[in-house]
Structure formats: structure tokens, C-alpha cells
Amino acid sequence: MLRIQARAKINWTLDICAKRPDGYHELDMLMHSVALADTLTVEPADELTLEVGRGGRVPADGANLALRAANALREATGVQKGARLWLGKRIPVAAGMGGGSADAAAVLVGLNRLWGCGLSEAELERIGLTIGADVPFCVRGGLQRARGIGEQLAPLRCARQIWLVIVQPCRGLSTRDVFGRLDLRAGVDCRPQTDRAQHALEVGDLRALCASLGNVLQPVAQSLRPEIAQAIEALRAHEAAAAQMTGSGSAVFGIFLNARMARAAWQKLRFSYRACYMTSSADSGMEIQEI
């Protein structure tokens, strides 16, 4: 049996360069795994089944990205073995943190090992891309510069651990709705300085990182959910060095200079929101244990 910690992600930066003829957007992002994680257990079985723990708020049928990943791996390899999958959710749903993608990536990696498929990381990423644009990142994890629709990844090294408080202030947002309301012709606000942010991460300059953040989807999401802007201000009021939305929302994160400051903010904010976590950056997208 395998137990996998499938880690969430945040976007330090999210910029949109153009809209493609196929309707997707050309992106330029800095994405980073964080310690906050779902738990997936994988064990041999005759049939392929998925059970979601209590309070998971996600389906346990074919609509779940974890089960879709298992079936995609079967189709790609011709393997028809079974497995019993159990998923414990902690990553908030529809929050811009890649929770479903992290689960799908963990299933691909776990079943590749359990079933002895022998696929490389690159092959798993290609399968993952058929499930969702964030799945290749979640297979690889750590700190990545992501381009294209998010599948063109360049690994980076972060020079320090970064402490965060993450808040989901309201119900989730549809990624399709947020992107659909973005008008590139009118220009975009909250444009990041991605090259500067990358350098700041690589040298461990937290203040330069905070000055370089940006997410062009944030104004759109705030127009749909004003609570997002209010949560960002609440994090700043509790001594976050910077705060912004991750992905297409609705989660927001605050950066703190140390663990003590992050814990103090978390203790004050945790009862005010539907979800509130203290966490930190992580060097990998998942942790695997044989049990």
C-alpha cells in the first residue's frame, strides 16, 4: 500500500500573454508547491474504486479527476489491473490551488508504481495534460516557471522556505467563468514582474518577491466575489508582507517574514473564514510512503 501526500500549489505570478485560436490563453506563471496536502492511499484490488473521506465535497465517480487519471493511465498503458483508492481532502475545492490536479497527479504516480507501468515522469506529465493543465506541474512539483497553458515547465530552485497563511473567503469560482470575463483588449491590472519575482525566489529576497507579485485574474475574480479583496486586506492588516489571490481564485495567500508571524495571523483569522491554513513552500509536489 502507498500513502501519498498530494500537495497544493500557489501562483506567485500569473500573467496572460495572449489568447490562442483554440480559445486557451498563453500564460507565464511562477508556480510553487506548498505543504498543505490531500492524502491518497493506493492499494491492490480486483476492481478500480475510489472512496472520498467524509467532508471531501468532491464526487467519487468518473467526474473526479483522481478516477479520470486512473482510467487515463489504463488507456495509455493497456494495463487493466484494479486498485482501491481512498482520498482525504484538505485542499479547498475550486480555490485556484490545484487540489483536483494534485490528486490526479498522485494517482498517476502511485498507480505507475503499484501497477509496474514503468513510465517516466515526462510520460506521466503527457498523460496528465489530457486531464488538466495543472496536472503536469503537480506531477513535477516544487518551484516551476510555467508557460503555454501551464504545461511548459522550467524547474527553479527556491533559496528559502516561505511561510504563508492561506484563506478561502467564499465559495469557489469557476476557472472558465473567470477567464471568460477577462478582456485583454482593455488591458489588465495586477500584472506581475515575473522575471524579478523569479530572481527574488532564487536568491531568497522576500521583500523583492513581495514587490513583484501579480495575478491578472484577480480583478475579475474580485468583481465576482468581493470577499476576495476583503480577505487580502485582512491578511495585510495582520502583518502579511504581501497578499494576493492564487490561480483563478477564490483562495488568497499572505506572505509572512517568519513562522511566528504566520502563526499569529492564522490564530486570529482561522475562525473568520470557511477555510484558513498556515503552511509553507515545499520543494516537491508529493511525498510517497510505503505502508
Active site residues: 9, 134
Does 100 count as an annotated binding residue?
Answer: yes
Does 93 count as an annotated binding residue?
Answer: yes
Task: From 4, 6, 8, 5, select the one nearest 34 (Cα to Cα).
Answer: 8
DSSP state at residue 14: E
Does 272 count as an annotated binding residue?
Answer: no
| 136 and 109 Cβ atoms separated by less than 8 Å | no
State how far the Cα of 128 lies from the Cα of 151, in Å rounded to an integer: 10
State how far the Cα of 119 lies from the Cα of 42, in Å rounded to an integer: 17
Does 122 count as an annotated binding residue?
Answer: no
Does 78 count as an annotated binding residue?
Answer: no
State the Rg of the chain over Cα. Answer: 18
Place of cell 482510467: 71
Does 92 count as an annotated binding residue?
Answer: yes
Residue 270: CB partners within 8 Å, gap ≥ 6?
A: 276
Does 96 count as an annotated binding residue?
Answer: yes
Does 101 count as an annotated binding residue?
Answer: yes
Residue 146: CB partners within 8 Å, gap ≥ 6?
A: 27, 28, 29, 30, 31, 137, 152, 153, 154
DSSP state at residue 160: S
Task: From 289, 290, 285, select the one nearest 99 (Cα to Cα).
Answer: 285
State the binding site for ATP: 92-102
